[in-house]
Amino acid sequence: MEPKTKLNISKEEAQRIRARVRAVQTISGDLGVSRRAVQADAPGLLKLLSDARVSGDVYTLPRPFSLNSISAWIRDHTQQAKDGRGLLMVTEDERGQIITLTDFQFWPEYSACEFGGVIAAHLQSQSVGTKGMAHLCDWVFKQLGIRLLVMTTSPQNIRSHKLLRGLNFTQMGEMDSVRPDGSVRKSLYWELLREN
């Protein structure tokens, strides 16, 4: 997918965004520090995503889940990070279990970013998502210099809708989201400009 709003950005600004994305290794947040996913995370991610309460609603995930599909997904994101176009970040708890996953996609040429995340089931509905999203929106705007955030949500994902409305995102109709296997899901489409 591409952002519906296409901002006019200079080549220099797009290059700066790409360089900042390439340099990201960690993001600090309320739940600790998230870091780039590496191949050794594949079993932990398989465990997290095998829980339908976590992965059920998210169209970007590499289904069907297996060590192979998740390893390939991590490899693809390692390349995206090198290109300054994507990041796959994970947070672990004190026992080394992966408790959050955030998948960022960047369009440096439009100064735009989309990200989606999942939270381990035992931490859901306790404001972790609301606080984490607010923090990541700030981080994307301030640290990376992005001007436009776009989001897609499944029409049934009430928690995400409430969360995005609370953060001042504007709902701008629907769009087709294409899953990695090529199938299509109708999504609600949202945008937030940095100045808002």
Ligand X SMILES: CC(C)(COP(=O)(O)OP(=O)(O)OC[C@H]1O[C@@H](n2cnc3c(N)ncnc32)[C@H](O)[C@@H]1OP(=O)(O)O)[C@@H](O)C(=O)NCCC(=O)NCCS
Q: Which residues sit at the interface with ligand X, rule CB under 6 A?
A: 54, 57-58, 116-119, 124-130, 153, 157-160, 162-163, 166
Q: Which residue number, 21 or 101, has a Cβ lying nearer to ligand X?
A: 101
Which DSSP letter does residue 40 get?
A: G
Q: Which residue number, 21 or 118, has a Cβ lying nearer to ligand X?
A: 118
Q: Which residue number, 105 or 130, has a Cβ lying nearer to ligand X?
A: 130
Q: What is the 3-state secondary structure (H, E, C) of 16-60?
A: HHHHHHHHCCEEEECCEEEEECCHHHHHHHHHHHCCHHHHCCCCC
CB 90 to ligand X: min, Å: 13
CB 16 to ligand X: min, Å: 28
Q: Which residue number, 69 or 157, has a Cβ lying nearer to ligand X?
A: 157
Give the residue at shortest CB distance from ligand X: 129
Three-class SS state of 31: coil
CB 100 to ligand X: min, Å: 8
Three-class SS state of 22: helix
